[in-house]
Homo-oligomer: A and B are copies of this chain.
């Protein structure tokens, strides 16, 4: 059901003591080939964690044989010592698999600033245990997905099928969810035969319309990594369009799972902007609403406050006339041509799934952003994170 759904991949998830709870915290994914083609998308935050600095460089080759991931520490802003930890982690994986360290991608998640000697020894011990536990089974894939959970309440996995090939994926992420990318670690595998250039195009096309349009709390992470690995084990040469569609389906499924598990959320909100002049305009307008704390707090209170939608979109430079806009809440048009329309009490915001429609009447483009409401529980979870 996960990264092991595609043939040619083994996985493991072990507990190495990085989490004080004793839960699984180190995951290893190995591509047994015959191919080792890979592509990746990394956070655009200039404050990049050490694993991101390593992995982005290592992936210049277009090749990866393994991905080692840990929760329980982000290894970000931990200086030269932290970078050495990442390097030693890749080397340890390489020794076990008898490959080069350059073929090992490293991902970490947890508290920024965590990455001391205890952390290093924990990760290295986790590598040893994981290397001994590698299996090509659904159960192993699930354990790997569980090992990267932080404040996630459930493991996140997805699968899609193409003509003669499969795509599988796992993800973690529940907070610091914002574009470029949503805050998360994602590993996607496929047994299709594809070169790294094709994987790169497919992955960028997929993330652009999925993870990049998930904006739960507007906060961009330092550790975001999305990897796509191809083993070629199916022997099926994938049509690029079909591969892209399958990868996009997996990314979309995982992005929705991330939204549904966002920290403290009580509403899963889709903000759909229609009749925009361009797709970029539609994304800009939807994102500005997704980032309005006042709008998000209103949704938490089941208050269809359309004025806060208009106040948010008025801060953008998208092409539209602010006084000619329609706004719907769960299908009820509350604002028409910039004036009040249907009564607010016609809107039922008690369901968790919430749809905001915004018609700009400026063109033919459409885009949607997924977000969540701003709740007491969000504040609580994020004020207690480090404790």
Interfacial residues, chain A to chain B (CB-CB below 8 A): 45-48, 74, 76-79, 82, 111-113, 175-176, 217-222, 291-294, 297-298, 300-301, 303, 305-308, 310-316, 322-323, 335, 337-340, 344, 374-376, 378-380, 382-387
Contacts and interface: CB of A to CB of B under 8 A. Distances in A.
How many copies of the polypeptide does the oligomer hold?
2
A308 B112 contact: yes
A385 B344 CA distance: 14
Contacts of A112: 305-308, 310-311
A322 B82 CA distance: 15
Nearest to A47: B314
Contacts of A335: 77, 113
29 contacts: A46-B315, A48-B314, A76-B307, A76-B310, A77-B338, A77-B339, A78-B339, A79-B323, A79-B339, A113-B307, A218-B293, A219-B292, A219-B293, A219-B308, A220-B311, A220-B314, A293-B374, A297-B379, A297-B382, A298-B382, A298-B385, A300-B379, A301-B384, A301-B385, A303-B385, A303-B387, A376-B376, A376-B379, A379-B379
A contact patch SS:
loop
Nearest to A53: B323
A323 B221 CA distance: 16
A278 B168 CA distance: 47
Contacts of A79: 323, 337-339
B77 A340 contact: yes
A77 B385 CA distance: 40
A322 B47 contact: yes
B45 A220 contact: no
The list of the 10 closest CB pairs from A to B, nearest first, reads A112-B307, A301-B383, A47-B314, A297-B382, A79-B339, A45-B314, A46-B314, A47-B322, A297-B383, A219-B294
Contacts of A313: 47
A174 B292 CA distance: 16
Contact of A378 (B46, B297, B308): B297
A143 B94 CA distance: 75
Contacts of A218: 291-293
Contacts of A387: 301, 303
A218 B375 CA distance: 17
A314 B45 CA distance: 5
B379 A374 contact: yes
A311 B176 contact: yes
Nearest to A382: B297
A384 B175 CA distance: 25
B78 A305 contact: no
Nearest to A375: B379
Contacts of A82: 339
